[in-house]
Amino acid sequence: MKSLKFLLVVLFVISAMSLYLGGCAPAETTTGKLAYQQKDWEKAEKELTKGVAIDKNDAEAWYMLGYSQVELGKYAEAQKSFKTVLSLSRDYDNLIKNYWIDKYNAGIKDYNDGTKALGKKDTSSSNAYFQRTIKTMNAAIAIMPDSAAAYQLMADSYNYMGQSDKALEIYQSVLDKSKSKEDAIQIARIMYQNGIKARQSEEYEKALGIFNRIIPIPFLPKDNIYYESSLFNIGFANYQIAVKKASDGKGKSEYEPYLKEAVKSIEQVVATSKDKALLKDSYEILYNAYDALGEKAKADDALNKKNALQ
């Protein structure tokens, strides 16, 4: 009987110790949470980092740590912290989503202000707004890494700032995840704009390279304007390169392959397009290309079809 009482006492003591240890956060965590409440992000991040190293299961501490890291611009660290929060408890789902919404809405406001400034040709102000949008979207992505909307807003901001390569890189990563025609069209749009700039500058080799990259974009509908117009511009660029080579006195063996590539692309356009203006331009190129290749019957047919569209 005596030994039984002793056992009960021991169990009580052990339970009490367990309750005490489980319910008492490390001093660093307590200090960090207080700093978080006071919006002292540097101190909160420093102390909470120490705290979660001691108690790795404190979901609230991890949430506050991630929040503080976002506010300090430590996005990679924040992403890891929020991932840990969700692995420990789903009670923080709504808090994390609401935090993302706050950041995203702030980014939307800067983005809209940026487009307005751009419309007024105030490049300095628009770039400042777009840079802020990019920073805020980086924060949103740290909070919710799969937020495609944040990536798209960031990519558009880079594009408006003239950093199309960076925009394309981001859009490609979005397309890899979403596999949607909308994202494919966004990529085609940016590339098409760059191709037109090169074409207008008579940089036909560069333009050809850009337009050729649009055609194989995954999930881009073949009836989309950027697909169809890119096919036409591939033909146009090839034709202009051929003309330049012929004008420079290059032999038939050098310019003829470009004429054949021009015909190949333009024939695809006329086979499917319903755009009258595009068809007229296409038949004009076909007429000249066929004529240069010595295919008189095809040249006459192209000319007749062009005239029929008058």
pLDDT score at 152: 86
Query: If you compute the radius of gyration of the chain from its CA atoms, what whole number of angstroms results?
Result: 31
Domain that holds residue 285: 179-310
Give the CATH number of the domain where residue 257 resides: 1.25.40.10
* Total structural domains within the chain: 1
Assess if residue 228 is contained within a domain. yes
Q: Which residue in 249, 250, 239 sits closest to 293, CA to CA?
A: 239
In terms of phi and psi (left: phi > 0; alpha: psi -120 to 50; beta: otherwise), the region of 89 is beta
Predicted confidence at residue 148, as pLDDT, reads: 83
Average pLDDT estimate for 150-157: 91
Q: Mind spelling out the 3-state secondary structure of the chain?
A: CHHHHHHHHHHHHHHHHHHHHHHCCCHHHHHHHHHHHCCCHHHHHHHHHHHHHHCCCCHHHHHHHHHHHHHCCCHHHHHHHHHHHHHHCHHHHHHHHHHHHHHHHHHHHHHHHHHHHHHCCCHHHHHHHHHHHHHHHHHHHHHCCCCHHHHHHHHHHHHHCCCHHHHHHHHHHHHHHHCCHHHHHHHHHHHHHHHHHHHHCCCHHHHHHHHHHHCCCCCCCCCCHHHHHHHHHHHHHHHHHHHHHHHCCCCHHHHHHHHHHHHHHHHHHHHHCCCHHHHHHHHHHHHHHHHHCCCHHHHHHHHHHHHHCC
The pLDDT of residue 85 is above 60: yes
Taking only the tens place, the pLDDT of each residue in 24-73 is: 678 999 999 999 999 999 999 999 999 999 999 999 999 999 999 999 99
Q: What is the pLDDT of residue 310?
A: 78
Confidence band for 114, pLDDT divided at 50, 70 and 90? very high
190 within a domain of the structure (yes/no): yes
Say if 205 falls within a structural domain.
Answer: yes
**Residue 4 pLDDT more than 70?**
no
Is the pLDDT confidence value at 184 over 70? yes
Which has the minimum average pLDDT: 52-56, 82-86, 124-128, 159-163? Answer: 159-163
User: Cβ neighbours of residue 164 under 8 Å, at least 6 residues apart?
Assistant: 158, 190, 191, 193, 194
Percentage of the chain beyond pLDDT 90 is 80
Question: How do residues 251-308 score in pLDDT, each as one tens digit?
Answer: 999 999 999 999 999 999 999 999 999 999 999 999 999 999 999 999 999 999 999 9
pLDDT for 146 equals 86
Look up tokens 């202000």; give the residue.
113
pLDDT average, residue stretch 159-177: 88
Q: How far is CA 18 from the centre of its chain?
A: 49
Q: Is residue 208 part of a domain?
A: yes
Does residue 164 register a pLDDT over 90?
no
Specify if 34 maps to a domain.
Answer: no
How many angstroms separate the Cα of 191 from the Cα of each of 7, 81, 132, 142, 161? 77, 37, 24, 28, 15
Supply the pTM of this predicted model: 0.69
The CA distance from 237 to 241, in Å, is 6
At 24 the pLDDT is: 65
Three-state secondary structure of 38-52: CCCHHHHHHHHHHHH
| 261 within a domain of the structure (yes/no) | yes
Choose the weakest-confidence range: 146-155, 197-206, 248-257. 146-155
pLDDT beyond 50 at 3: no
Task: State the average pLDDT for the chain.
Answer: 90
State mean pLDDT over 124-129.
Answer: 96
**Long-range contacts formed by 211-220: CB under 8 A, 24+ apart:** 211/237, 214/188, 217/175, 217/184, 217/187, 217/188, 217/191, 218/175, 218/179, 218/184, 219/175, 219/179, 219/180, 219/181, 219/183, 219/184, 220/181, 220/184, 220/185, 220/187, 220/188
Say if residues 156 and 167 touch (Cβ distance below 8 Å): yes
Of the listed ranges 102-111, 162-171, 252-261, the one predicted with least confidence: 162-171
Within 8 A by CB and 6+ apart from 294, the residues are none
d(CA 158, CA 152): 10
The reply to whether 13 falls in a domain is no
pLDDT surpassing 70 at residue 186: yes
Top mean pLDDT of 12-26, 88-102, 185-199 is at 88-102
Residue 12 counted as domain residue: no
Predicted confidence band of residue 179 (pLDDT cuts 50, 70, 90) = confident
